[in-house]
Structure 1
Amino acid sequence: MTSESRAGRPRVSSRETLAEAACELFLERGYDATTVADITTRAGVSRSSFFNYFASKSAVLWSGLDERIGLLERELDGAAGSAAVDAAIAELARGFAPDALALAIVNDVAMGVADELAREAAMRSSRIARAVSGALVRGGADRLEADVRAAAWGGAVLAAVAAWARDGAGRSELASTVSRAARIARDA
């Protein structure tokens, strides 16, 4: 049985194909030594195909969580109170599958991505905190209380993602790890 492909057409590309190529290269060469051109060559796609899926090299690692954070931001835009925050955070974690980020967290030293992960995690934590703080203020919390609680939420989510990855991301649901982190954050 032979497989036919149309001449001139590149292989079908997808986020997963590009992420797999990127992670292989990060493990082989290190994050800093890997370029977008290296990733597209490995994946067999054009540079423009890469940018159809990812805004940057680091976005390869973060795109799955970034989508979830975007949903959280939209869900909390105009929402008010702790119950809305609890529901939005639970939804962020529900059904989250292991991806390039989980692989990078577990292999941060081998990939040479530890500093990049720390910088990028801080930005995601801040995005979560801004969304949560707004909802808490609209729910009646004063700004200081809202900002402190929101910072705890942002940190809890990112800490939960890291713990989930290190514990074997496919072995449990992120939602249960986030739920545990949320309890810890509430009690802090």
Structure 2
Amino acid sequence: MTTDSRAGRPRASSRETLAEAACELFLEQGYEATSIADITRRAGVSRSSFFNYFSSKSDVLWSGIDERIDQAVASLRALGPDADGDAVRGILLLVVHGFAPDPLALALRNSAAMGLDDELVGETGLRLAQLASAVSESARASGIDVIRADILGAAHAAAVLSSLRVWAEQGAGQLSVESVLLDALGTIHDLPWAI
């Protein structure tokens, strides 16, 4: 049996190829001016291939973190009445654990050059609301009143998303995003889980 092996770098998956093509185009011509057709043409794949991996142009940037946020939301809901600050913070740390530079990190670092400022504000807000709601729900399930639960949710969600932004802006890979998040969570120590 003969195998076709090539020396050098292994071929990237279509998902990686599409993400790389999209980021190159966002830097070259801006986010708004880049179409899905531009991305697929640059990547050398069909339009249907794009939609096998991404639901939209924005999804190219957010899909990696969205999977992690979805897992965190499910884990937070599973805590039920056993939710406490340590368990919640542990789940939130998993959102960023081992997070490596990706299209989102590149976009956060180069938002002005890519013309992504408005896009990032809107899309960050959606993820902030999703995480804040899940943390607040966990707090309420453990017996915390609604206002305090909402404040805890907003603070913890902001810590996660702000940490990702700061980590990317400072040069993803320079620090671990977990250490940035631990520092951020430390700033909300005046909001203990329970009184």
Question: Shared topology, TM-score over 0.5?
Answer: yes
Which of 112, 116, 120 is the matching residue for 2:119? 116
Q: How does 1:29-108 map to 2 (within 5 A)?
A: 29-79=29-79, 80-108=83-111
Which of 163, 169, 173 is the matching residue for 1:170? 173
Partners of 2:35 and 2:127 lie apart in 1 by 23
| One-letter identity of the residue aligned with 2:31 | Y
Partners of 1:19 and 1:184 lie apart in 2 by 34
Q: Return 5+ residue gaps in structure 2 as ranges.
A: 6-10
Count of paired positions: 181
Which of 135, 138, 142 is the matching residue for 1:135? 138
Native 8 Å contact 1:75 1:88 kept in 2: yes
| One-letter identity of the residue aligned with 1:53 | Y
Query: For residues 124-161 of structure 1, what are the alpha-carbon distances to aligned partners after superposition, in whole Å with 9 as ceiling and x for unaligned?
Result: 11111011111111112111101011001111111100
Q: How high is the sequence identity, in percent, across the aligned residues? A: 52
Partners of 1:39 and 1:13 lie apart in 2 by 15
Q: Who is 1:24 aligned against?
A: 24
Q: Return 5+ residue gaps in structure 1 as ranges.
A: 5-10
Partners of 2:139 and 2:148 lie apart in 1 by 9
Matching of residue 151 in structure 1 with residue 154 in structure 2: yes
Deviation at 1:187, TM superposition (A): 3.1
**If the length of structure 1 is used for normalisation, what is the TM-score?**
0.91
| One-letter identity of the residue aligned with 1:95 | G
Partners of 1:99 and 1:55 lie apart in 2 by 17
Deviation at 1:85, TM superposition (A): 0.7
Query: For residues 99-142 of structure 1, what are the alpha-carbon distances to aligned partners after superposition, in whole Å with 9 as ceiling and x for unaligned?
Result: 11111111111100111001100111111101111111111211
Native 8 Å contact 1:129 1:151 kept in 2: yes
Partners of 1:12 and 1:89 lie apart in 2 by 30
Native 8 Å contact 1:76 1:135 kept in 2: yes
Moved over 4 A (4+): none
Deviation at 1:12, TM superposition (A): 6.6
**If the length of structure 2 is used for normalisation, what is the TM-score?**
0.87
Native 8 Å contact 1:81 1:140 kept in 2: no
| Alignment RMSD (CA, Å) | 1.8
